[in-house]
Structure 1
Amino acid sequence: MNTALPLNERHCTHGAPALDDAAIAALLPQLPDWQADGKRLVREFLFRDYHETIEFVNALAFMVHREDHHPDLQVGYRRCTAAWTTHSAGHKLSENDFICAAKADALYAGRAGA
């Protein structure tokens, strides 16, 4: 794990291993709006309207394509729930999940009108 950079400045790595409970517990305080159950990292994002929701989803899609680490998304009128897990790590959490969650938080915080 590269801890020299903040999570949102790191990049996903191919074949990232599953994290143990201690590593998850160490990373989770950096993402206070997220919940982890050992297999998924989940957050609900709230928006003013559908257009703002879709704008965020599009920005998120662009970022995850660059990182090549895609979440499961549930999109509604004024909300989007993102859930990350690492399939190649046995559907458990890896550092990649935390990196993308931090990048999603940065997109959410930086959106117009935030």
Structure 2
Amino acid sequence: MLHELRCEACRAGAAGALTNQQLQELLFELDGWRIVTRESVPQLEKTFQFSNFKKAWSFSERVANLADQQNHHPSILAEWGKVTVTWWTHSLHGLHKNDFICAAKCDQLYHVGD
């Protein structure tokens, strides 16, 4: 299961960008995540729902802690009642298995809750 894996080091020019088939296979393992493209860069994104801002903020902090533990950092947008998390591998200008690992870990954090 993806949430049990740990991110591996990834540097500019390194192999690791996923093929379309690999992207679809990994996306199938996630719940509610989608691939969006911004400025020609595919990114993995999901919006999590909460009953208020404090719960959304608390989840954002848990995602930030996860990001530091994995040494892989997403875009996190916290708003009233929702948090949007976007993962992509900056050095590859695209998606790597690390992004899917971290997405699965976010889902675990969400289901554990406060």
After TM superposition, the score normalised by the length of structure 1 is 0.88
- In structure 2, stretches of 5+ residues that fail to align are none
Question: What's the counterpart of residue 81 of structure 1?
Answer: 84
1:22 corresponds to which letter in structure 2?
Answer: Q
Secondary structure in 1 matching 2:17: coil
Q: How far apart, CA to CA, are the structure 1 residues paired with 2:50 and 2:36?
A: 25
Q: Does 1:49 align with 2:60?
A: no
Q: Quick check: which one's strand share is greater? A: 2
Moved over 2 A (4+): none
Q: Does 1:23 align with 2:22?
A: yes
Q: How far apart, CA to CA, are the structure 2 residues paired with 1:95 and 1:26?
A: 11
Compute the RMSD of aligned alpha carbons: 1.2
Match of 1:101 among 82, 100, 103: 103
After TM superposition, the score normalised by the length of structure 2 is 0.88
Match of 2:4 among 4, 9, 13: 9
Tell me by how many angstroms 1:88 deviates: 1.3
Tell me by how many angstroms 1:73 deviates: 1.3
2:63 corresponds to which letter in structure 1?
Answer: L
Q: Percent identity?
A: 34
Question: What's the counterpart of residue 33 of structure 1?
Answer: 32
Question: What's the counterpart of residue 70 of structure 1?
Answer: 73
2:51 corresponds to which letter in structure 1?
Answer: R
**Count of aligned pairs:** 106
Tell me by how many angstroms 1:41 deviates: 0.3
